[in-house]
Structure 1
Amino acid sequence: MLGKITRREEYDLFAAWLAVSLSFAIIKLAPYGVLGPIQPADPKTALIYLVIALLTAGIGLVAHELAHKFAAIKYGFWAEFRKNNFMLLIAVALAALVGFVFAAPGATVIYSTRPDGRTLTREENGKISAAGPVTNLLLCIPFAALYLVSGPLAMAPSTLLYQIGIFGIQINAMIAAFNMLPISILDGNKVLSWNIPAFILLLATSFAVLVSSFYIL
């Protein structure tokens, strides 16, 4: 399946991965932006925050978009991720200025007509849309395992692995919850149009994991 990722798509995914990761690394250093208190940090600490963001937010974003792509391919439709340079800039700028990340780095474009002329059905569109949030929720499982084995269950907790575990759960739950909102072009709106019970289940699960990640962990 990875052979179906085009060279341009690789570049777009890489650019989005870096920009989104940088945005989340910035808010770790300056939770309220440059106008608020900034946590003193040496280059090593800043690099650690970037690595954590690359392994959590970055991977969550790429996995989300590739899930849409491969789900579309499964139904016989072609799909490619396309970055949005303006939104990538907005993501980094908002993180730096006010400590808020609005991660809408682009979208997976689905060509809604197959070679045989058949168009995308509402059910197929809903399942393809659900694939992204479902993938993020599934990613919470290995991050939760990492959190447990490097923290509560470890005799000598590893701070870096512990932080990757916590941040990985929080970010992936956040990506899932945001995308499941029934708004405009977000995944939730398409899932809702296809299957109301599936929409309620995914929305409730995403927010339950998100809230739990901040108040229980």
Structure 2
Amino acid sequence: MSSRYDRRQDATIRFSRRELRDLAAAWLALSIAFTIFIGRPPVLAAHPTWAARLFVVCIFSVGVAFMLHELAHKVTAIRFGQLAEFRADYSMLGVAIVGALAGFIFAAPGAVHHVGRITDRENGIIALAGPASNVALVGAFAPLLLFDGIVYSVGAFGVFVNAFLGAFNLIPFGPLDGRTVYRWHPGVFALAFGGSIALVAGVFLTIGFPI
């Protein structure tokens, strides 16, 4: 019985203090950045109640989308016997906020780093887990569209952001998940990427831009 098999059998999901701090920092920074980008500073300053409402919407839609995407990578990696932890990229979180103030958004909160012996298939599945979690979240947020007010806003933002995030991360370029999935299995990549594009198109046709 290999040591790798032992790690899988005993695998539990643990979070170090540093990882919890990084997750919280990334969640908060991204929520602030998207609030600024969507609301625009002059409007937010003039309407503090609306600004607070928008921030809550971003926490429960954008923040959830990004964090569960990263946690899906972590959980899957651990199930394959890896040591895995999320590390925030504080310089890029700063870029996200400064960019939002300047009128554009670029969100790269960090990444899950995992180490250990692994096959191409397992690595591909770990990469695919992130976008797959976003597709699942589209379904989880969709029922909120049946309500009014802030609940509808959370649902609309959740559906839109998760559909876009899933498709974007499947682009087979650079450090994005799509490149790893493609290297593992071009057929699986084609199905996943094609499905994600179709999902984005469907979201545009049904709810459009939630902004």
TM-score bin (small chain): 0.7 to 0.9
1:91 alignment counterpart: 96
1:155 alignment counterpart: none
Structure 2 residue identity aligned to 1:103: A
Q: Distance in 1 between matches of 2:193 and 2:15?
A: 29
Residues 46-71 of structure 1: CA deviation (Å, up to 9, x unaligned): 01111000001101111011100010
Q: Distance in 1 between matches of 2:44 and 2:31?
A: 18
Alignment counterpart, residue 113 of structure 2, candidates 102, 109, 113: 109
1:139 alignment counterpart: 137
1:49 alignment counterpart: 54
SS of alignment partner, residue 95 of structure 2 = helix
Q: Distance in 1 between matches of 2:186 and 2:197?
A: 17
Alignment counterpart, residue 200 of structure 1, candidates 185, 190, 198: 190
2:31 alignment counterpart: 21
Q: Distance in 1 between matches of 2:204 and 2:12?
A: 34
Q: For residue 201 of structure 1, report the CA deviation from its aligned partner.
A: 1.7
Once the two structures are superposed, the pairs formed by residues 120-139 of structure 1 within 5 Å of their partners are: 120-139=118-137
1:6 aligns with 2:42: no
1:73 aligns with 2:83: no
Residues 66-85 of structure 1: CA deviation (Å, up to 9, x unaligned): 10001001011110000111
SS of alignment partner, residue 101 of structure 1 = coil
Runs of 4+ aligned structure 1 residues displaced above 4 Å come to 37-41
Q: For residue 39 of structure 1, report the CA deviation from its aligned partner.
A: 6.9
TM-score by length of 2: 0.88
Q: Distance in 1 between matches of 2:110 and 2:74?
A: 13
Any conservation in 1 of the 2:70–2:111 contact (CA below 8 Å)?
yes
**Percentage of pairs with the same residue:** 39
2:67 alignment counterpart: 62
Alignment counterpart, residue 169 of structure 2, candidates 175, 179, 183: 179
Q: For residue 22 of structure 1, report the CA deviation from its aligned partner.
A: 1.0
What is the RMSD of the two structures over their aligned residues, measured on CA atoms? Answer: 1.7
Q: Distance in 1 between matches of 2:46 and 2:64?
A: 24
Q: Kindly tell me: are residues 133 and 41 of structure 1, through their superposed partners in 2, closer, same or farther at Cα, counting changes over 3 Å?
A: farther
Residues 72-112 of structure 1: CA deviation (Å, up to 9, x unaligned): 010111100001111001111111102x221111110011x
* Higher share of residues assigned helix: 2
Q: For residue 211 of structure 1, report the CA deviation from its aligned partner.
A: 2.6
Q: For residue 40 of structure 1, report the CA deviation from its aligned partner.
A: 7.3
Any conservation in 2 of the 1:29–1:41 contact (CA below 8 Å)?
no
When the two structures are aligned, how many residues end up with a matched partner?
197
Q: Distance in 1 between matches of 2:45 and 2:202?
A: 29
Unaligned runs of 5+ in 2: 1-10
TM-score by length of 1: 0.86
Q: For residue 173 of structure 1, report the CA deviation from its aligned partner.
A: 1.1
Unaligned runs of 5+ in 1: 114-118, 151-157
Q: Distance in 2 between matches of 1:72 and 1:131?
A: 9
Q: For residue 164 of structure 1, report the CA deviation from its aligned partner.
A: 0.9
